[in-house]
Amino acid sequence: MSMPPAIDVRNVTKQFRVVHHAGSLKRAALELLRHRSYVEQMTALDDISFQVPAGQSLGIIGSNGSGKSTLLMLLAGIYRPTAGEIEVRGRVTTLLDLFAGMHQDLTAADNAIVVAMTNGLSRAEALQRLPMMLEFGELTAHADQRIRHFSAGMVVRLGFSVAVHCDPDILLVDEVLAVGDQSFQAKCRQRVGQLQAAGKTIIFVSHDLDTVRATCQRTIWFERSRLRLDGPTAEVLAAYEE
């Protein structure tokens, strides 16, 4: 009996309401009297379907506004689809916004514990992994420092370190493997490689085609909110680059 997919996206459409504001109160009143609507439905994803087997690394490419980041938000449960269904099987950790969940008045150690617990670890598990998180992010010496005094790069390193030590079944990555200096970027790529070797499912959105080529076995190309092409990474990138 075959294993169910880690991710199953079935006929998913996502629309957003966009409100267009009038330039002045007088104009807004006149337009309202004429029964003109200021609300527009914008379609970010249009009838998308695909599956991701457990353990596969899937790249998502496409121009800005094609629906890539919206898809990750749907998979993470941040958005709900307007139509269609999504099934995600397993613990999900996101690398979408590495500042998310961080509180400026908490220390690096306390922030790491809080974010790790938000990502599904128990407090005991978070405390056990805290030294590894801080060491990976090169922040051990700053563990008791409030992050309001951190540089943006230090906060990003902390966020990445916590996320990749939360033992995810599925990792959602959005353009964050370029954090820090070159040595830390190499460490990030190595850690992602370890997660792949451990059979984790990875969804990777990026404009960096070389990184997609090196990271992903399969790639999906989105264009104008639709799925344009789905196949082996080399074939999809060759078509995209044409």
DSSP secondary structure of 63-95: -TTSSHHHHHHHHTTSS--SEEEEEE-S-EEEE
Q: Is the pLDDT of residue 31 over 70?
A: no
Residues 6+ apart with CB under 8 A from 69: 96, 174, 205
Q: Is the pLDDT of residue 87 over 90?
A: yes
Domain spanning 7-241: which CATH class is it, in words? alpha beta
Give the Cα-Cα-Cα angle 51, 53, 54 (nearest 5 degrees).
135
User: pLDDT of 194-221, one tens digit each?
Assistant: 999 999 999 999 888 988 998 899 999 9
Q: How far is residue 15's CA from residue 102's CA, in Å, rounded to a whole number?
A: 29
Q: How far is CA 120 from CA 23, 93, 103, 123, in A?
A: 46, 9, 18, 9
Q: Average per-residue pLDDT in the chain?
A: 87
Reported as a pLDDT band with limits 50, 70 and 90, residue 178 is: low
| Residue 29, helix vs strand vs coil | helix
The pLDDT assigned to 17 comes to: 82
Helix 152-164 to helix 108-118 angle (10° resolution) is 40
Q: Is the pLDDT of residue 11 over 60?
A: yes
Domain edges within the chain: 7-241
Residue with tokens 């961080």: 102
pTM: 0.82
Which amino acid, 171?
A: L
